[in-house]
Amino acid sequence: LALLVLAPWLSFLPLAAMASLLLMVAWNMSEAHKVVYLLRRAPKDDIIVMLMCMSLTVLFDMVIAITVGIVLASLLFMRRIARMTRLSVLSESAETSTLMLRVSGPLFFAAAERIFSELLVQSEDYNTIVMQWDAVPVLDAGGLNAFQRFVEALPEGKQLIITDIPFQPLKTFARARIAPISGKLAFFSTLPDAVKHLNESVAS
């Protein structure tokens, strides 16, 4: 309202007075108390992103700061999600040479390589590997590629069984035309079905 109505008179204000007004506006916009709170309580990764954005805003401009901030935040987010994906052993039997594991978390490019590398090490002494995928919400192209390379690397006489595949990973498999391979790769709807099949195979 002041700018619209009082513009002719405001033009007579000294620039020093306008500068002080701008400093007050900038200080209020900075929300310094929130910055201090975040520096004390926020995770280290978030603090780094915030300080980087603040520094780039001062040194260059806000466009560069926001661009770099979004890229950094995305990379850190992917690293956090990748760390959430893990393998847990359900059971292992030396008699039947069977290892059963459960995968928890998304199998995307940032996590799949690590998961299948760990699986390769853990399954060295077993001929049958059963993986339950009920907690795998996402399988992307990178995860699919890591899966295919793991299957190709399986030595003769070693079998991989996948069970409880959710819709999205199942759809990815279908698009990639992943099919069972006799004696090497098999799929079952549930873990009990896979166990039943293994028991029948041992009995026969």
- Please tell me the predicted confidence (pLDDT) of residue 204: 65
Can you name the residues that pair with 98 across neighbouring β-strands? Answer: 93, 128
Compute the distance between CA of residue 77 and CA of residue 130 in angstroms, rounded to an integer. Answer: 30
The total of other beta-carbon atoms located within 10 Å of residue 102's CB is 19
Residue 122, CB half-sphere, CA atoms under 13 Å: how many?
Answer: 24
Tokens of 135: 């907690």
- Please tell me the predicted confidence (pLDDT) of residue 131: 97
Give me Rg for the CA atoms of the chain.
Answer: 28
pTM: 0.76
- Please tell me the predicted confidence (pLDDT) of residue 2: 72
Contact 38, 47 (CB under 8 A): yes
Q: What is the pLDDT along the chain (204 residues), one digit of tens a residue?
A: 777 888 888 788 888 888 888 888 888 888 888 889 988 998 998 999 999 998 998 899 889 999 999 999 999 999 999 999 999 999 999 888 999 999 999 999 989 999 999 999 999 999 999 999 999 999 999 999 999 999 999 998 899 999 999 999 999 999 999 999 998 999 999 999 999 999 888 776
- Please tell me the predicted confidence (pLDDT) of residue 31: 86
Ordered by where they begin, the domains of the chain are: 14-82 (no CATH), 85-203 (3.30.750.24)
Tokens of 153: 């690397």
In the three-class reduction of DSSP (H, G, I as helix; E, B as strand; rest coil), residue 116 is classed as helix
Tokens of 136: 């795998």
User: Could you tell me the strand order of the sheet in which 159-163 lies?
Assistant: 86-93, 98-104, 128-135, 159-163, 185-188
Instruction: Estimate the share of the chain in helix, then strand, then coil, as percent rounded to the nearest 5.
Output: 60, 15, 25
DSSP-assigned states of every residue in 18-29 = HHHHHHHHHHHH
Compute the distance between CA of residue 180 and CA of residue 185 in angstroms, rounded to an integer. Answer: 5
